[in-house]
């Protein structure tokens, strides 16, 4: 049984690296009957158009690395029924890409998600359990266990271990988050320099370039240069739009630290 939070945390934190902690979690879920592990984290779940953001971190265990290409480069993540459901629930769920199974992801199994279904069926990864982890600031993660070639009895097996898997997933994310680097905690691949962020922060407070220049001790043209550079990186038409986009993607905040 995996039902003691302190024991789980102790076992996971025995490893110092993120990959080491993921390896430990994978060893535990194999005891639940899973053959593979998928773990992803998204600081900002939706982009400004309301589409799912690609995760800043995706870790795979016992799964072909070509999944990374499909889920990132081909953006399968945005149309993945499991991810679409995970954004709408806080409850762990069993899923099956066979329509006849009647699982909760059926509502998203359509022509748009067909490439995802095809990829998973071709690799015998059509069944699993996902635990959504939603954080106070809106960021989220999913911890997924996959059973290869799952038979009809898999749902029964999964139900038996659902509570343990859910507890493990939440404690695991806690200790995994503590090992994230700065890149994993950023909601966009856009990188702003510290001076660009500083100027945008002051701009967000309603200060003019002249007022900002006095605060940071730089010339007005230098401040304008930083603001324009930030706007260009963010694909913004003007300073106001740059502030809105930077705020949405949390580029103006200190890096979040939930777990001490």
195-245 pLDDT tens trace: 999 999 999 999 999 999 999 999 999 999 999 999 999 999 999 999 999
Q: Do domains 5-177 and 194-248 have the same CATH topology?
A: no
Neighbours of 255 (CB within 10 A): 12
The length of the chain, given as a count of residues: 260
Helices (H), 89-153: 114-122
How many other CB atoms are found less than 10 A from the CB of residue 187? 20
- CA proximity to 13, closest of 236, 172, 193: 172
Distance of CA 69 to the CA centre of its chain: 16
**Domain parsing of the chain, residue ranges:** 5-177, 194-248
Report the Cα 111 to chain-centroid distance in Å.
25
pLDDT digits (tens, 9 = 90+) for 43-95: 988 888 888 999 999 999 999 999 999 999 999 999 999 999 999 999 999 99
CATH number of 5-177: 3.30.450.80
Radius of gyration from C-alpha coordinates of the chain: 21
- CATH code for the structural domain at 194-248: 1.10.10.10
Q: Which residues contact 228 (CB under 8 A, 6 or more apart)?
A: none
| CA dist., res. 148 & res. 37, Å (int) | 11
Question: What span, in angstroms and rounded, lies between the C-alpha atoms of 51 and 34?
Answer: 30
Q: 173, 130, 137, 177: which is closest to 44 by C-alpha?
A: 137
Binning pLDDT at 50, 70 and 90, where does residue 249 land? confident
The answer for 52, left when phi > 0, alpha when psi is -120 to 50, beta otherwise, is beta
Tell me how far apart the alpha carbons of residues 128 and 214 are, in angstroms, rounded to a whole number: 57
pLDDT per residue as tens digits for the range 127-149: 999 999 999 888 999 999 999 98
First to last CA, the chain: 27
> Measured between alpha carbons, how far is 187 from 138 in angstroms, rounded to an integer?
11
- Count of Cβ atoms closer than 10 Å to residue 14 Cβ: 11
pLDDT attached to residue 260: 42
């Amino acid at each position: 049984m995996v039902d003691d939070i302190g024991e789980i945390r102790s076992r996971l934190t025995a490893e110092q690296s993120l990959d080491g902690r993921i390896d430990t979690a994978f060893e535990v879920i194999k005891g639940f009957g899973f053959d593979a592990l998928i773990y992803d984290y998204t600081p900002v779940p939706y982009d400004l158009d309301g589409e799912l953001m690609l995760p800043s971190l995706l870790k795979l265990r016992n799964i072909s690395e070509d999944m990374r290409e499909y889920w990132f480069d081909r953006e399968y993540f945005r149309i993945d029924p499991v991810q679409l459901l995970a954004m709408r629930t806080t409850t762990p769920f069993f899923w099956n890409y066979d329509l006849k199974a009647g699982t909760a992801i059926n509502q998203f199994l359509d022509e748009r998600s067909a490439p995802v279904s095809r990829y998973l069926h071709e690799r015998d990864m059509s069944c699993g359990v996902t635990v959504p982890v939603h954080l106070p600031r809106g960021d989220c993660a999913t911890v997924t266990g996959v059973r290869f070639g799952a038979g009809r009895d898999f749902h029964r097996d999964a139900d038996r271990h659902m509570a343990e898997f859910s507890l493990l997933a939440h404690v695991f994310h806690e200790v995994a988050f503590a090992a994230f680097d700065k890149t994993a905690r950023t909601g966009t691949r856009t990188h702003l320099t510290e001076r660009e962020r500083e100027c945008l922060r002051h701009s967000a407070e309603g200060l003019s370039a002249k007022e900002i220049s006095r605060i940071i001790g730089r010339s007005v043209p230098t401040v304008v240069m930083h603001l324009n550079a930030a706007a260009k990186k963010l694909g913004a038409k003007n300073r106001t739009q740059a502030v809105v986009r930077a705020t949405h993607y949390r580029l103006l905040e200190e890096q979040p630290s939930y777990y001490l």
